[in-house]
Structure 1
Amino acid sequence: MIEQGRTDEAATPTDGTVAVVTVTYSSGDHLLAFLASLETATSTSPQVVVADNGSTDDSLERAQRDHPDVTILHTGANIGYGAAANRGVAEIDPSVEFVVVANPDVEWTPGSIDELIAVARRHPRAGSVGPLIREPDGSVYPSARSVPDVVSGTGHALAGLVWKDNPWTAAYRHLDEEISERPVGWLSGSCLLLRRAAFDSVNGFDSRYFMYMEDVDLGDRLGRAGWLNVYAPSAEIVHRKGHVAGADPDAMLPAHHRSAYRFQADRHPGPLWAPLRGALAAGLWVRSKVTVGAARRAARGDRRGVADDRGGPVA
């Protein structure tokens, strides 16, 4: 074992353009598919860092066997997605211009990372660039969204339970917008190309978010710092949504709602906003109970559980 839990002897040579970081927690076959498809995603030779939050399966050993140049970074515990991503990015030489942070259940299409870089070059103020994300069935996931304020976020969170075509959800998810290359409020953290200078300028992900909303928070802080979040549908990936987040709705759905509260509470501090924070906390608590109950019923009914929707139903 060498410094910070790394198990490699030497980092993969790179051309200084891009590196790749993924965060794992017993990711199984998805990590192998991630690494295999990565080989055609870019014409460069990126350093690849797997920041592991305490996997108990054999996915890391299999990844190291098939991809010996990959850096395995053991974080020492399940420290959360954003904190582990930050640790992974810290392993990358700061001179590397771009870092891709992606879930291990992502599969790359040929040339997808090269296309993300090309889009970033067209937008010099792009702090983050996100691809078009397809679901396993081929449908397009609405990954380019507006930053939610209290009104739009509450409308989406509450009305979305019973009225899926409500105007707050449509505006938040840009459902009526043509798919095109454009700046947006934030991009799904399941796959992001990050300009290293921009990422460092806002101190990376906020590690207080254990899971969910860390991508919304990052996109908002990049925007406030003068950077752009650019949607790049010319680059495509497939998100298999096979990570363990959906396996335990009793833990993960409340975590999602806690993160949603933190996001709005951070932006509405002080005593004047205390009534709003109280109402928001109560509303999200009720919504959490409703969604957990629905997830339990779905699990009993068809054993499929709840899919992991990064950045998902609450904002």
Structure 2
Amino acid sequence: MISDRSTGSADTTSPRVAVVTVSYNSHDVLDEFFQTLTKATDETILRLLVDNKPRTDSATERIAGSFGARYLSMGSNRGYGAAVNFAARTLPASIDWILICNPDLTFEETSLDTLVRRGDAEPDAGAIGPAIHTESGEVYPSARAIPSLRTGIGHALLSEVWPANPWTAAYRHDSTTDSGSVGWLSGACLLVRRSAFDRIGGFDEGFFMYFEDVDLGYRLGKAGFANIYEPRAVVVHSGAHSTSAHASRMLTAHHESAKRFLSKKYPGWFFWPMRLALKLGLDARVRYLDRRSRKANT
């Protein structure tokens, strides 16, 4: 059962920016997330924390309250996109922009304000994404081209036996290191125009994990909105703290989502042989990596 509990002091100045983060066993990173968020903007913002734990996590709710964030419990884990969609449906009419982000982020100074200014200056922008750095200072490829069925098949079949193959290079290639329009932006930190998000129906909740951001960027582009990379805004992502213990399951989930996205993008009967080749290639890749992982652990 989904529950909604406001905690902490509520803003009364009709904020135009909402920040939505989704937690699953994330209480150990939330303090730093909210602390650094305060230096990312000078605006009054609405903070929402959606808890995807099957039961209420009192530690997570307590931290949300200490930072004046609205706490929402999903009651069960229905996935990242479903949690964000639920939060978006609760937002007041004053909200123009929604910052969607993982809880294991920290924000550089003025990063949120930089994203909002860029969005305000670009009337066709549906989404704006920052530069995402790793903890070691490397730039994560968070702005990419939309993957094609051909590159997906080549990557699935050849990435392990021929890592330098051109299809894997295209699949992993970040589309730009400069500011500008791209195919899709990482959902780890993504500012979306609320009207654009609502127009396309938000995230496709059929993606439990992975590729929901690829699909969102693709549908925004089809609807006439731009996905814009703004590297002057910087956040730091510490990595998948809540999923690292389940790497094999996560790889399987990633490949299932890849198959779903490319099947949506190429639905015609005449693409059936290529969809089958993608399925077989990704399934074989999962089996190969799983065997390799088990062998390394013995």
Q: TM-score, normalised by structure 1?
A: 0.87
Corresponding residue number in structure 2 for 1:45: 44
SS at match of 2:45: coil
SS at match of 2:87: helix
Q: After superposing the two structures, state which structure 1 stretch, 264-273 or 212-221, moved more.
A: 264-273
In the TM superposition, 1:227-238 aligns within 5 A as 227-238=225-236
Q: After superposing the two structures, state which structure 1 stretch, 263-272 or 77-86, moved more.
A: 263-272
CA contact (8 A) 1:97 1:195 kept: yes
Q: 1:265 Cα shift?
A: 1.0
Deviations 1:32-66 (A, max 9, x none): 21111111111112111111111676541441352
Q: After superposing the two structures, state which structure 1 stretch, 85-94 or 141-150, moved more.
A: 85-94
Q: After superposing the two structures, state which structure 1 stretch, 283-292 or 193-202, moved more.
A: 283-292
Corresponding residue number in structure 1 for 2:130: 131
Are positions 1:196 and 2:187 aligned together?
no
The residue identity in structure 1 corresponding to 2:272 is: A
Query: d(CA) in 2 for partners of 1:101 and 1:150?
Result: 28
CA contact (8 A) 2:27 2:63 kept: no
Corresponding residue number in structure 2 for 1:80: 79
Are positions 1:262 and 2:260 aligned together?
yes
Corresponding residue number in structure 2 for 1:304: none
Q: 1:169 Cα shift?
A: 3.8
Q: Give 1:225's match in structure 2, choosing from 202, 223, 226.
A: 223
The residue identity in structure 1 corresponding to 2:66 is: D
The residue identity in structure 1 corresponding to 2:30 is: L
Q: 1:101 Cα shift?
A: 0.4
Corresponding residue number in structure 1 for 2:179: 181
CA 1:242–1:270: 2 relative to 1, 3 Å = closer
Q: 1:191 Cα shift?
A: 0.3
Query: d(CA) in 2 for partners of 1:233 and 1:105?
Result: 19
Q: 1:143 Cα shift?
A: 0.7
Query: d(CA) in 2 for partners of 1:75 and 1:222?
Result: 26
Structure 2 residue ranges without an equivalent (≥5): none
Q: TM-score, normalised by structure 2?
A: 0.91
Q: CA RMSD in A?
A: 2.2
CA contact (8 A) 1:261 1:280 kept: yes
Query: d(CA) in 1 for partners of 2:65 and 2:175?
Result: 46
Deviations 1:232-264 (A, max 9, x none): 100000000143122212322111111000001
Query: d(CA) in 2 for partners of 1:54 and 1:229?
Result: 31
In the TM superposition, 1:161-176 aligns within 5 A as 161-175=160-174
The residue identity in structure 1 corresponding to 2:24 is: Y
Query: d(CA) in 2 for partners of 1:59 and 1:87?
Result: 21
CA contact (8 A) 2:156 2:278 kept: no
In the TM superposition, 1:1-315 aligns within 5 A as 4-8=2-6, 11-54=10-53, 59-67=59-67, 69-175=68-174, 177=176, 179-296=177-294, 300=297
Query: d(CA) in 2 for partners of 1:33 and 1:40?
Result: 11
Corresponding residue number in structure 2 for 1:312: none
Q: 1:117 Cα shift?
A: 0.7
Q: 1:275 Cα shift?
A: 2.2
CA 1:236–1:162: 2 relative to 1, 3 Å = farther
CA 1:28–1:292: 2 relative to 1, 3 Å = farther
Q: 1:76 Cα shift?
A: 1.1
User: Aligned pair count?
Assistant: 296
Corresponding residue number in structure 2 for 1:307: none
CA contact (8 A) 2:22 2:51 kept: yes
Query: d(CA) in 1 for partners of 2:130 and 2:219?
Result: 20
Query: d(CA) in 2 for partners of 1:246 and 1:127?
Result: 31
Query: d(CA) in 2 for partners of 1:293 and 1:38?
Result: 42
SS at match of 1:248: helix
SS at match of 2:236: strand
Q: 1:157 Cα shift?
A: 3.6
CA 1:4–1:28: 2 relative to 1, 3 Å = closer
SS at match of 2:11: coil
Query: d(CA) in 1 for partners of 2:225 and 2:175?
Result: 25
CA contact (8 A) 1:13 1:47 kept: no
Query: d(CA) in 2 for partners of 1:48 and 1:296?
Result: 42
Q: 1:297 Cα shift?
A: 5.3
